[in-house]
Amino acid sequence: MTYLLPHIFTTLNIFFGFYAIVKVIDGDFFKASLGIFLAIFFDIFDGRIARLFKIQSRFGLEYDSLCDLVSFGIAPALLIYQFSLKGFNKIGWSASFLYATCVALRLARFNVKNLFKKSYFEGLPSPAGAGILASSVLFLLKTDIDPIYKTYGLLILTYLVAYLLVSPIQYPSFKEFKIKKAQAFYFLVFFILGLTIIASNPSFYLFIIFSFYLLLGPFLFFKNNRKNFFKNFTKKGTFKS
């Protein structure tokens, strides 16, 4: 039973991903976004359960990737297309197609490199990519905002997320994040506090959280490489008078 537990969570991942697709077809973008977030929830825990019980396997990795492609590739691509990009005709569906393809490429690269024990992700993780698109839809559904942000803003965002998925920019994975026994109580308090804050306005706070993580990778990349960046410009004589 222990061996099946991670696969059960992975199956719930694709279940809610498929649920999101059905709701997109029905035109219920709120429930479609909710389905994607539930898929993210179960995707987070399937890998952690496998590591906890030391039952990681090649089958589990491949199954997880195929489910991720549905939940975090196809479902968000259809959601963002039907919600906003449909009005752009060929440009709209090609942007959605590019996003879905970049998710597939990112998952394939992850499997080939087999980054089980890395403390970082190479490129934006596909659940985070799906999360930023779904949270953007939720935010725009609940906010009286200029229609241009629902069209051109989401078009630009889709291209940006697609690039970050296959980019070499590193994102923290938090896989090696461990809580000491003495810190468990305080972590629980902060977790409940954070959950309460998010529950007060989920469409806003989920958008803020995923946007922060989206920008965290480029920020850390620039921070870690700024010395080399400025050094290269200096060598080329950019700053010479």
Helix or strand or coil: residue 80? helix
State the pLDDT at residue 239.
Answer: 45
Task: Give the distance, in angstroms, between the CA of residue 137 and the centroid of all CA atoms in the same chain.
Answer: 14
- Contacts with 209 (C-beta within 8 Å, 6 or more apart), sequence order: 135, 198
Helix or strand or coil: residue 230? helix
What's the rounded Cα separation, in Å, for the pair 158 and 129? 9
Task: Reply yes or no on whether the pLDDT at 237 is more than 90.
Answer: no
Half-sphere exposure of 52 (CA within 13 A, CB side): 12
Domains of the chain, residue spans: 5-221
What's the rounded Cα separation, in Å, for the pair 158 and 141? 17
CATH fold, domain 5-221, is: Four Helix Bundle (Hemerythrin (Met), subunit A) (1.20.120)
Query: Average pLDDT, stretch 149-166?
Result: 92
Report whether 2 contacts 53 (CB < 8 A): yes
Q: What is the pTM of this model?
A: 0.86
pLDDT digits (tens, 9 = 90+) for 114-125: 655 567 888 999
- Contacts with 28 (C-beta within 8 Å, 6 or more apart), sequence order: none
What's the rounded Cα separation, in Å, for the pair 108 and 166? 10
Helix or strand or coil: residue 172? strand
What's the rounded Cα separation, in Å, for the pair 69 and 43? 12
Structure tokens at 202: 């989920």
Count other C-beta atoms under 10 Å from residue 173's C-beta. 16
State the pLDDT at residue 221.
Answer: 86
**Which of 28-32, 67-71, 170-174 shows the lowest per-residue confidence on average (mean pLDDT)?**
170-174
What's the rounded Cα separation, in Å, for the pair 82 and 236? 47
Report whether 213 contacts 169 (CB < 8 A): no
State the pLDDT at residue 91.
Answer: 94
State the pLDDT at residue 189.
Answer: 82
Query: Average pLDDT, stretch 55-61?
Result: 81
The pLDDT-based confidence of 154 (bands split at 50, 70, 90) is very high
Beta bridge partners of 122: 170
% of the chain exceeding 70 in pLDDT: 85
The pLDDT-based confidence of 241 (bands split at 50, 70, 90) is very low
What's the rounded Cα separation, in Å, for the pair 154 and 152? 6
Task: Reply yes or no on whether the pLDDT at 47 is more than 50.
Answer: yes
Please give the residue that has the higher pLDDT: either 20 or 235: 20
- For residue 210, the one-letter residue type is F
State the pLDDT at residue 240.
Answer: 46
What's the rounded Cα separation, in Å, for the pair 145 and 112? 42
pLDDT digits (tens, 9 = 90+) for 183-234: 667 777 887 888 888 888 888 999 999 999 999 999 988 888 776 655 665 5
